[in-house]
């Protein structure tokens, strides 16, 4: 298994140049004062299609040869990777098929179809999405681009932390939202090259701490689909590539509760005027919880996405 390197992140950045947004790094005086550190928020909620996943998908699809482009891309995803592949395929002029859970947020289903992709639905609690996707891929000759466990996806996701560190200079800590580990492992590749002293933390929902268990036990732990409001981190296991990089380059994996995510969503809305989806709050929720131990530190926070059904968003913030 050939792990992607920082050079692959640099190559991905060149492919993304002019296609992905260079998202802003925002500060909040209120956050700094309340938690006693210097926070640098890399706002991927402002990325194209509303999440960092555009980076990995566009990088992967950009590398297709002529035959692959003709047949197109296929993937499975609970949401943002679906939109990322759909938009990337549209921009690159190729077909896309997306296998999505029946209960995916309405906004995500609509957006995926809106980018011109064909959507195939499955039952998240009873069907094996990977087997289904694999069968369709074979039948149609399409190239499967998984949501996280792929070198080109990991390298693409790493470009967000690369941009962040280039803008801020060395950081003491970097907190990253963790599902299957594409964003965390890519971020770790960038941090290792650009800020070797920086401690990278992956952050999972409490209910789905398979990554934390994997790191503790030294092999990939599989769990049932966790029940959490962080729908982008309802993954059941890390990938082979992402786990290998996380084991080598990530300091630790920590967890936060759904209640902490809601508090964090409220902070982003009230104080920073940003709509951030629950999964996108994982990193900052953990940074806040770690505040007593990181006083005065320079802390990077990757705000990973902002795609949330507005009715759902209002419901979460009103506490019902
Ligand atoms: C996919 C996703 C994550 C988790 O990313 P992984 O690469 O699977 O670890 C976090 N936040 C958002 C908004 C996502 O869409």
Q: Quick one: pLDDT at residue 309? A: 86
β-partners of residue 51 are 305
Q: Quick one: pLDDT at residue 179? A: 96
For residue range 248-293, what is the model confidence (pLDDT) as tens digits?
Answer: 999 999 999 999 999 999 999 999 999 999 999 999 999 999 999 9
**Cα–Cα distance for residue pair 171/162, rounded to 1 Å:** 12
Q: Is 208 a catalytic residue?
A: yes
The answer to whether 112 touches 98, Cβ cutoff 8 Å, is yes
For residue range 46-57, what is the model confidence (pLDDT) as tens digits?
Answer: 999 999 999 999
Tell me the Cα Rg of the chain. 18
Contacts of 68 (CB under 8 A, 6+ apart): 143
Q: Is 304 a catalytic residue?
A: yes
Contacts of 225 (CB under 8 A, 6+ apart): 124, 125, 234, 236
Backbone angles phi, psi at 38, to 5 degrees: -105, 110
Catalytic residue among 8, 28, 42, 53: 53
Q: Quick one: pLDDT at residue 239? A: 98
**Cα–Cα distance for residue pair 253/172, rounded to 1 Å:** 16
Residues with C-beta less than 6 Å from any ligand 1 atom: 51, 53, 80, 147-148, 157, 177-184, 232-233, 235, 277, 279-280, 304-305
Residues 125, 131, 133, 136, CA torsion sign: negative
Q: Quick one: pLDDT at residue 110? A: 87
Q: Give residue 4's Cα distance to chain centre.
A: 17
Whole-number Å distance, alpha carbon 135 to ligand 1 midpoint, is 25
**pLDDT tens for the 320 residues of the chain, in order:** 999 999 999 999 999 999 999 999 999 999 999 999 999 999 999 999 999 999 999 999 999 999 999 999 999 886 899 999 999 999 999 999 999 888 887 777 888 899 999 999 999 888 888 899 999 999 999 999 999 999 999 999 999 999 999 999 999 999 999 999 999 999 999 999 999 999 999 999 999 999 999 999 999 999 998 999 998 999 999 999 999 999 999 999 999 999 999 999 999 999 999 999 999 999 999 999 999 999 999 999 999 999 998 999 999 999 75
Q: What share of the chain is helix, strand, coil (3-state, %, to 5)?
A: 50, 15, 30
The answer to whether 152 touches 68, Cβ cutoff 8 Å, is no
Q: Quick one: pLDDT at residue 101? A: 87
């Amino acid at each position: 298994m050939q792990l992607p390197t920082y050079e692959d992140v640099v190559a991905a950045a060149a492919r993304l140049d002019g296609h992905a947004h260079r998202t802003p790094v925002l500060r909040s005086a209120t956050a700094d004062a309340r938690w006693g550190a210097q926070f640098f928020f890399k706002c991927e909620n402002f990325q194209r299609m509303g999440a960092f996943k555009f980076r990995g998908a566009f990088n992967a699809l950009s590398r297709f040869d002529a035959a692959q482009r003709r047949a197109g891309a296929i993937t499975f995803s609970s949401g943002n990777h679906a939109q990322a592949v759909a938009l990337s395929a549209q921009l690159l002029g190729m077909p896309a098929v997306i296998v999505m859970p029946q209960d995916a947020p309405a906004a995500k289903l609509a957006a995926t179809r809106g980018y011109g992709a064909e959507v195939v639905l499955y039952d998240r609690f009873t069907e094996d999405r990977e087997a289904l996707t694999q069968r369709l891929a074979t039948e149609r000759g399409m190239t499967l681009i998984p949501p996280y466990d792929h070198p080109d996806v990991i390298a693409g996701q790493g470009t967000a932390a690369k941009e962040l560190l280039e803008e801020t200079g060395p950081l003491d800590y970097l907190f990253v939202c963790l599902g299957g580990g594409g964003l965390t492992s890519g971020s770790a590749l960038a941090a290792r090259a650009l800020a070797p002293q920086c401690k990278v933390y992956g952050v999972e929902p409490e209910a789905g701490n398979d990554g934390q268990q994997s790191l503790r036990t030294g092999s990939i732990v599989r769990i049932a689909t966790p029940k959490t409001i962080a729908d982008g981190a309802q993954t059941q296991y890390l990938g082979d590539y992402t786990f290998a990089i996380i084991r080598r380059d990530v300091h630790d994996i920590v967890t936060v509760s759904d209640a902490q995510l809601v508090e964090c969503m409220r902070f982003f809305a009230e104080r920073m005027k940003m709509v951030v989806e629950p999964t996108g709050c994982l990193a900052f929720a953990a940074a806040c919880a770690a505040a007593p131990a990181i006083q005065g530190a320079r802390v990077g926070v990757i705000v990973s996405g902002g795609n949330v059904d507005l009715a759902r968003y209002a419901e979460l913030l009103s506490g019902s």
